Amino acid sequence: MRHIISLLLENESGALSRVAGLFSARGYNIESLTVAPTEDETLSRMTIVTSGSDDVIEQITKQLNKLVDVVKVVDLSEGEHIERELMLVKVRASGKDREEMKRMADIFRGRIIDVTDKSYTIELTGTGQKLDAFLDALEEGAVLEAVRTGASGIGRGDRILRV
Amino acid sequence: MELTGAEITVRCLADEGVEYLFGYPGGAVLHIYDELFKQDRVKHILVRHEQAAVHAADGYARACQKPGVVLVTSGPGATNAVTGIATAYMDSIPMVILTGQVPTHAIGQDAFQEVDSIGITRPCVKHNFLVKDVHDLAATIKKAFYIATTGRPGPVVVDIPKDITMARCEYSYPTSVSLRSYNPVVKGHSGQIRKALNLLLEAKRPMIYAGGGVVLGEAAAELTQLVRSLGFPCTNTLMGLGGFPASDPQYMGMLGMHGTYEANMAMQHCDVLLAVGARFDDRVIGNPKHFFQEDRRIIHIDVDPSSISKRVKVDVPIVGDVKDVLSEMSRQIAAGTQKPDAAALKSWWTQIELWRARDCLKYDRTSAIIKPQMVIEKLWEVTGGDAIVTSDVGQHQMWAAQFYRFDKPRRWLNSGGLGTMGVGLPYAMGALLAHPDAAVACVTGEASIQMCIQELSTCKQYRMPVKILNLNNRYMGMVRQWQEFFHGNRYAESYMDALPDFVKLAESYGHVGIRIEKPADIEPAIREAFARKNELVFMDFITDQTENVFPMVPGGKGLSEMILV
Ligand SMILES: Cc1ncc(C[n+]2csc(CCOP(=O)(O)OP(=O)(O)O)c2C)c(N)n1
């Protein structure tokens, strides 16, 4: 099953490689991993999307908790949560495709943030599924380049992850 | 007054109460060596190879519970230390390893003797630190000791660039540490403890399985009290030997791949299993699929939550310090009215005695060639069961574990998790420094001893009277055994050709060497060796090449599928 795990970790060099190293050393999957400092500059917030059986996920959270740099671990998928991913995608936009591409961006609530006479760069935010759906909806060969951030997640309602 | 980083490093060690520092000098740590030279609070033990520095410090820690401390230089000094660090990590041994590093401005430039020590050691340490500012040095060293020795212990590396050892700042050694991200659990959950006791007191076929956590957690007395008050059978893992006294009638012997028939059968057939400070390792329970029993309930006490339900699903997990949890269990049993089911226990013990009668450790005592098992039995007799025994890895290790009956913890030092050949002699060195008056025996094989043989020189320099018992079968015996059983007797590269004359070798280092070829000479030789109180004696026992370790659970099989003699 797919899980989205959030962690707070010390904002220290090496903390990221401890987490990444743990996943590779123990053979756990990483679908995506995002990390950035938080409003408290001594802490980083990381979101990991992984998959595995319940036993594997239990081990992943225990092993993450064991890392000395990790302050808190939450499996967001255990409760209501929101996840978002940002994609920047450069698409072919010449001739008759140009109008069509603009319409597609509008339908998916994307924003065109850069324009040349042959291409658009579209910014799109949503769940991973929505981004997939957008890419699927485009004509074959329309995508020139796509950059995705991987998912970030947060609990719904009053669930808060902080120290 | 401002001190240099090198002074601070040495002061920290002294203020931490470090007695011995095991190490080897080199460019990046010369300022630290200079400061060591100027003081006498911390004694430095100069080994002959950095791997042995780590093993010796590790052996010291295993023998006396205090953390082992190491100092090596950057680059090759650090890489040579890695095997020792990984060995300590696998067995959860508290250690602090200081590695020199090239100056901060040179890091990342492929400088002379630069390696990414933090990167290389990351997967085999509990934690590691690179010190980037001399102002952080003392606090970092304090944190390293704190992390190494609390919770589930383990090695911590502190990488110190050379310029940091020259920079100056005010020194004060922190008295305490608090880390928001690291708070090991001590007290077991009382509800879980009650649940565990209910299961135990209702058990028909109970079994207690205790591992290295009991030794590391200083909980042997608490375990012994609990086992005796319950009247249940108890087995120890290779790492847990001495955690419950081997001479106790409730002791079942070691379990696992080379465990006793009765211990393995009882593990497999019990209805309630209490696991204490153990981790259901593959060498201990074999294949978890075969180990599984529908109607068996498992209680697991461990300080490390990630050890619980890792290989085997557990019914009642108790996270906490084993000493604390065990004494709480005993307290509640004494306070309660419920007693174990006597009738059920009686028939369980009848079954166990039948398994015991199989006499799974028997061997040919009339052989004209020395049987390795007999050497261990004689060692036990001569030392009154009270020696500190270290071993290397192989058949000799298993025979030592099976035939030396340990009644106390911290008397058996071996590499259980990583299985590192070469630890035996340095472990003995560390043990002797921890307990200068103890009888210390190193049981080894002619292959393993050659992996750290250079330490005979260290033993000479510091007058370490280790008694080495080399079970010389001219083979990497354990490899040969697997080749005999599983590879059609094709002994690929397991014959030890071109062996040195170990007697002369020992003598050339200034020690005493004895070759023993007849069973009748075993005991006199061991007596003579221990009578030479202040000398290192190398006993080269020429043993039966064909002897195998039994019982044996082949890899991937279940515990009850043992090969027996
Ligand atoms: C450093 C290292 N290399 C290889 C091995 C694999 N290995 C396990 S036992 C063994 C043979 C040990 O032979 P010896 O020391 O003579 O002991 P014996 O089994 O004959 O008692 C080997 C090579 C190991 N455990 N450690």
**Spatial distance between the Cα atoms of A8 and A70, rounded to a whole number of angstroms:** 6
Distance between CA A92 and CA A112 in Å, rounded? Answer: 13
Q: Are A144 and A69 in contact (CB under 8 A)?
A: no
B396 lines ligand 1 (CB under 6 A): yes
Q: From B251, B276, B108, B98, select the one nearest B188 (Cα to Cα).
A: B276
- What is the model's pTM? 0.97
Residue nearest atom 23 in ligand 1 by C-alpha distance: B476
CA-B471 nearest atom, ligand 1? 21
In percent, how much of chain B has pLDDT > 90?
99
Q: How far apart are CA A49 and CA A75, in angstroms?
A: 10
Q: Is B79 in a helix, a strand, or coil?
A: helix
* Residue B64 burial class via C-beta count within 10 angstroms: exposed 0-12, middle 13-18, buried 19 and up: middle
In angstroms, the CA B432 to CA A135 distance is 69
From A85's Cα to the closest Cα of chain B, the distance in A is 28
pLDDT at B1 over 90: no
- Residue of B479, B496, B547, B548 best suited for mutating to test ligand 1, as the one with most atoms within 8 Å of CB: B479
For chain B, what is the mean pLDDT? Answer: 97
Please state, for a pLDDT cut of 70, what percent of chain B lies above it.
100
pLDDT score of B186 more than 90? no
Please tell me the distance in Å from A151's CA to the nearest CA on chain B.
24
> Would you call A14 and B147 a contact, using CB atoms and an 8 Å cutoff?
no
- Closest to B302 (Cα-Cα) out of B218, B411, B185: B185
Determine whether B265 is an active site residue: no
Contact B181 A59 (CB under 8 A): no
Residues of chain A numbered 71-90 and touching chain B (CB < 8 Å)? 71
Question: Exposed, middle or buried: residue B537 (CB in 10 Å: 0-12, 13-18, 19+)?
Answer: buried
Mean pLDDT of B429-437: 98
Q: Nearest chain B residue to A9 by CA: give it.
A: B181
Cis amide prior to B551 (ω within 30 degrees): yes
Residue B427: which residues within 8 A CB-CB, separation 6 or more?
B55, B56, B58, B59, B62, B390, B413, B414, B442
The pLDDT of residue B143: 98
CA distance B56 to B37: 21
**Residue A13, pLDDT score:** 86
**List of chain A residues with pLDDT < 50:** none
Distance from Cα B134 to the centre of ligand 1, integer Å: 43
Question: How high is the ipTM of this complex?
Answer: 0.94
The beta strands (E) that lie in B358-491 are given as 388-391, 412-413, 440-445, 467-472
What the block records as the tokens of A19 is 């987490």
Minimum distance, in Å, between the CA of residue B7 and any CA atom of chain A: 26
How far, in Å, CA of B224 to CA of B205, rounded? 19
φ/ψ of residue B46, rounded to 5: -85, 110
**Helix or strand or coil: residue A47?**
strand
CB-based contact, A63 to chain B, within 8 Å: yes
Which amino acid does the sequence have at B124? C
